[in-house]
Structure 1
Amino acid sequence: MATTHYLALEDVSCVLPDGTPLFVHLTETFDDQRRTGLVGRNGSGKTMLARVLAGLLPPSSGRCVRAATVHYLAQQVGVPAPGSTVADLAGVQAAMAALRRIEAGSTDAADFDTVGERWHIRLQLQQALEQHGLGHLQADTPAARLSGGETMRVALIGALLAEADFLILDEPSNHLDQPSRTALIDQLASWPRGLLVISHDRQLLDTMDRIVELSPLGLRSYGGHYTFYAQAKAHEQESAVAELERARLDRRREEQAMRAQRERKEKRQARGARAGQQANQAKILLDRQKERSDHSTGKLLRQQAAAQQALVQRVREAAEQVVDEAAIHLHVPHSAGVAQRLVAELDDVELPFVPQSLRRITLRIRGRQRIGLTGPNGSGKSTLLKVLAGTIRPMAGRCQVIAGTVYLDQSLGQLDPERPVLEQLQQARRSLDEGALRMRLAQLGLDAQKVVRPSQLLSGGERLKAALACALYADPPPPLLLLDEPSNHLDLPSLRALEALLASYQGAMLVASHDPVFLGALGLTDRLEATWEGWRLYAVD
């Protein structure tokens, strides 16, 4: 009988450094018999939970049992360390270095332990690169030359080469073009061991055997793929809302009945008191009658208070079952420029680090022009954005961009990881007081506690919202917005809010994305497509 590998949470809680509980009392088992997708709102703690499961972070309380070897792939692999190579990204650099030392004559036991059974790791890596359409890369290729999509694909190859008992992948389809996403799904379909995927990618989640949702209510398992989960969740919410309405209606009815009961009792007491006075009863008898009446009234009030508390508790419990889907609201900046104003011009610019057919480009962008930038991974989309942003110098040609242009890269490097979001927004928008800025951040889903934490402690989706706030709420708003895969990391309500914001944005915009649904919601005026025959700009019908 085959051994079942599993990861188990036993009453696990995690508390942030400031004392805020992220999640509490989680108990769940992840085994290698069910391919599991983990979903939840931005900031719910999915990444921290994955790190606990992988053994990279101890829980604040409870314990995690790992009856498996685990390979964890973080969602921020798009930020390779300086000097790193393809082998580093794939996680095989140490084994390859030890193998080179052994081949040079080393007899150090540590080198043999590092290699283990991976004597063919160089060949395995190169074969895997070729198999997945990355044959132009070598083990020693500098990681800085890779696009975000290529970086993720190499890291995924490393995860598959690890041959661990369990793979935990955090947003693995971020930065991947559609062919690469399809290839990822095929790769994972053939993975024979345990798998936990954190994602908002519905196409990927629809290949899972079950979906586990992390919410303020804890972990809830749904035995099916994402479409099944979405239908079950919608049905649950309908039932929860109906139960909340019933509980509120029952509370109102009972409160009315209790009020009527008190009024009837007060009238009886008043009649009794008048009757006693008219019958000239002795004062001592009247006092005893009043004492009995007060005792009876007190007992009734205590009974009603207990009943009312029970009704309030029922409403509270019903409300807790209704997921808070409060809309994320973003303020649309005022006009960022005249429609025909030239905001960027590339004249016969030669781009570095891109295929020869895409090396040269001439492009003019005018105010309120909205361009969707598409093309396969490695075609030069990010490089083009970096040239326009001034972070990379072109090899030749003339590049002129209006001052105030804002560029948000895939790693959100514009955010200072050590500084709180509120402090960074205050620097960008000095004309609004702290209260107004706090309100705008709260409307993005960044509450009072999150805005005073260093931005590195926020989730990927929260960091994107913070970066957008610092860019779009700046004074004045940017005339040109350069966005590289902005829909990555966002949960669905936040993604819809981002689509609405960018659709209303009045400045010029160049947005790179592999998500056709997202681009279709932005009201694009043009498309700039990277093809293997060159750059192709055309108007959107």
Structure 2
Amino acid sequence: MSMSLTCTSLSFAWPDGTPVFDGLDVAFGPGRTGLVGVNGSGKSTLLKLLAGELAPSGGTVKVTGEIGYLPQNVTLGTTLRVDEVLGIAARRAALHAIEAGDVAEAHFEAIGDDWDVEERALATLGELGLGHIGLDRTVGEVSGGESVLLRLAALLLRRPDVLLLDEPTNNLDLYARRRLYAAVDAWPGVLVVVSHDRELLDLADQIADLRSGEIVRYGGGFSAYEEALAVEQEAAERMVRVAEADVRRQQRELSDAQVKLAKRKRYGQKVGDSGSLPRILVGARRRAAQESAGKHRIMHEERLADARERLDEAVEAVRDDDEIRVELPFTAVPPGREVLTLENLRTAYGARVEGVLDLRGPERIALVGRNGAGKTTLLRTIAGELPARAGEARTHVPLRFLPQRLDVLDDESTVAENVARFAPDATNNRVRARLARFLFRGARADKKAGTLSGGERFRAALAALMLAEPAPQLLLLDEPTNNLDMASVRQLTSALEAYRGALVVASHDLPFLESIGITRWLLMEGGRLTPTTPGELEDPDRPVPPGVSGGEQPANEPE
């Protein structure tokens, strides 16, 4: 029987009554499907419904075969051994017991036919770049990114027919992502992946676009989807222009008809008043004229209503994923101007910059490397949030830092109030006018920061920093595309196109980095900062330098 996943008349609402799906019909067959949509459209909720983690309020989910689900955020117990995470601990223990001479029937029942379970487990770990971990290590000894790959390894070992992945690359570095891409590319069954990772989505056989509770499919990967969407949007915008012209024409015709009818009415009144025609004839003509005028008016009003309805439908077809269009002239840095100097710098966790590293003019530097290499620590040291252990980091222009946590915003203040904190001399009108360019128009600027969606919060934090006074001429961004939907990434790219200062961005998202005009690539590896190129970063088998785990910095390490 062919593997498949089918939803029929699927409905779901949150406990407060907010609807997410109402009668959704969708089916996924063999192959790779990328599920995309703006933040809050219900992608993760749909995966949970498909996986059985949530119960629908109506409709059914039917799965042919076994299902495997990798959620976006799951914390594993730090004392769990790797073989326990992989789900093979009991079989492995039975195997070792038999090898030691214990031939109890229970051991054979535990193993079943899976006598090569250890070899398969080690091979799967090796395919995902985790061969160095072994089966007896504990979760507390591996990094966050490695724990994501461990959970994927557990699913691969189970060999489910249907695999559901929710933002699997969020916490993975460049090299771990390459491993995951290879696993996805080789997947033989049904695979549905929610992601904002362009490279991962380009491996898909089709893109399923979730919008307003409905799914529209597009053949090919994400690049083909973008091309098809661009053609659709061009046609939709053309239809809006045609519909707008029709509304204007119908308004003119209605207005002209009303003028003509008013003239006829005045003429009829004049004839009646003159007494040149018998009263009975004048009355009959007046009644006929009124009846004709009423029909005429109703006809034009109906035509206008139809034209407006067509316009509404045309507007509905145009996506409102607006781009940020802003001018930031005061962020400009002249070529050759000294912006940042790092001299024999040693950071809190041991990363270092030997000699002198200068950033001059409007350079755009990509800071890349494995998780845990020290990129965030370096940015925080440059921003003055962490003291240097040795050497110094000197900034020569106004600087702003956007951390991953987006904690530059006060949750109890509105978007406008947050921006005003960074530009205290700006008038309220000026703040709001500039916020409108960041898509916070009217009442949206009065929303409290704590109520914003992920994409809105990022946009508000970016606006607060970019609109700050004095204008930032050096901008530090730490993993800015993490957890952003595609529309938000496009908005970020648009804003950075308008930014004319120097930029240092720590990111694992190579397509994003290449789209924003990076002029210099620096690799943080083995505690050192060295020049690199995008091509050198593509190798998933690049060896891990001594002392680098591939994971995040320990939270309890002293600064």
Q: Same fold (TM over 0.5)?
A: yes
Deviation of 1:467 after TM superposition, in Å, equals: 3.5
Would the aligned equivalents of 1:241 and 1:322 in 2 still touch at CA under 8 Å? yes
Is there any run of 5+ residues in structure 1 with no aligned partner, and where? 105-113
* Distance across 1 between alignment mates of 2:233 and 2:364: 37
* 2:447 corresponds to: 452
Deviation of 1:134 after TM superposition, in Å, equals: 2.9
Alpha-carbon RMSD: 4.9
State yes or no: 1:243 paired with 2:239.
Answer: yes
Deviation of 1:126 after TM superposition, in Å, equals: 4.9
User: Residue type of the partner of 1:46?
Assistant: K
CA shift in 2, pair 1:24/1:399, >3 Å: same
* Distance across 1 between alignment mates of 2:464 and 2:112: 48
Render the CA deviation track for 1:246-269: whole Å, top value 9, x for unaligned.
333333334444444444444444
CA shift in 2, pair 1:426/1:487, >3 Å: closer
SS in 1 for 2:240: helix
* 2:9 corresponds to: 10
* 2:44 corresponds to: 47
CA shift in 2, pair 1:45/1:231, >3 Å: same
CA shift in 2, pair 1:409/1:48, >3 Å: farther
Deviation of 1:197 after TM superposition, in Å, equals: 1.3
Would the aligned equivalents of 2:339 and 2:502 in 1 still touch at CA under 8 Å? no
State yes or no: 1:329 paired with 2:325.
Answer: yes
Q: TM-score when scaled to structure 2?
A: 0.72
Q: 2:476 aligns with which of 482, 485, 490?
A: 482
Would the aligned equivalents of 1:426 and 1:434 in 2 still touch at CA under 8 Å? no
* 1:232 corresponds to: 228
Q: Report percent identity of matched pairs.
A: 31
SS in 2 for 1:221: strand
* Distance across 2 between alignment mates of 1:132 and 1:348: 34
CA shift in 2, pair 1:15/1:535, >3 Å: same
* Distance across 2 between alignment mates of 1:96 and 1:283: 106
Would the aligned equivalents of 2:8 and 2:61 in 1 still touch at CA under 8 Å? yes
* 1:372 corresponds to: 366
Would the aligned equivalents of 1:428 and 1:475 in 2 still touch at CA under 8 Å? no
Would the aligned equivalents of 1:349 and 1:362 in 2 still touch at CA under 8 Å? no
CA shift in 2, pair 1:400/1:134, >3 Å: same
* 1:511 corresponds to: 505
Deviation of 1:153 after TM superposition, in Å, equals: 3.7
1:253-332 equivalence runs, <5 A: 253-281=249-277, 286-287=282-283, 289-330=285-326, 332=328
SS in 2 for 1:30: strand
User: Residue type of the partner of 1:374?
Assistant: V
CA shift in 2, pair 1:137/1:449, >3 Å: farther
Deviation larger for 188-197 or 65-74: 65-74
How many residue pairs match? The answer is: 517
User: Residue type of the partner of 2:26?
Assistant: T
Would the aligned equivalents of 1:349 and 1:360 in 2 still touch at CA under 8 Å? yes
SS in 1 for 2:366: strand
* Distance across 2 between alignment mates of 1:397 and 1:277: 103
Deviation larger for 41-50 or 418-427: 418-427
1:122-521 equivalence runs, <5 A: 126-137=122-133, 140=137, 146=143, 150=146, 152-161=148-157, 163-174=159-170, 176=172, 179-216=175-212, 218-281=214-277, 286-287=282-283, 289-330=285-326, 332=328, 334-335=330-331, 343=340, 345=342, 347-349=344-346, 352=349, 361-362=354-355, 364-365=357-358, 368=361, 370-376=364-370, 379-388=373-382, 397-400=390-393, 406-410=400-404, 412=405, 414=407, 422=415, 425=418, 428-429=421-422, 431=424, 443-445=437-439, 448=443, 452=447, 455=450, 458-459=453-454, 461-476=455-470, 480-505=474-499, 508-521=502-515
Deviation of 1:536 after TM superposition, in Å, equals: 1.9
User: Residue type of the partner of 2:246?
Assistant: D
Deviation larger for 296-305 or 418-427: 418-427
Is there any run of 5+ residues in structure 2 with no aligned partner, and where? 98-109, 535-559
SS in 2 for 1:35: strand
1:8-47 equivalence runs, <5 A: 8=7, 10-12=9-11, 14=13, 23-25=20-22, 27-47=24-44
Render the CA deviation track for 1:485-530: whole Å, top value 9, x for unaligned.
3234445554344234335545553212344453345454543234
CA shift in 2, pair 1:32/1:280, >3 Å: closer
Would the aligned equivalents of 1:329 and 1:444 in 2 still touch at CA under 8 Å? yes
* Distance across 2 between alignment mates of 1:116 and 1:383: 49
* Distance across 2 between alignment mates of 1:46 and 1:439: 33
Deviation larger for 420-429 or 199-208: 420-429
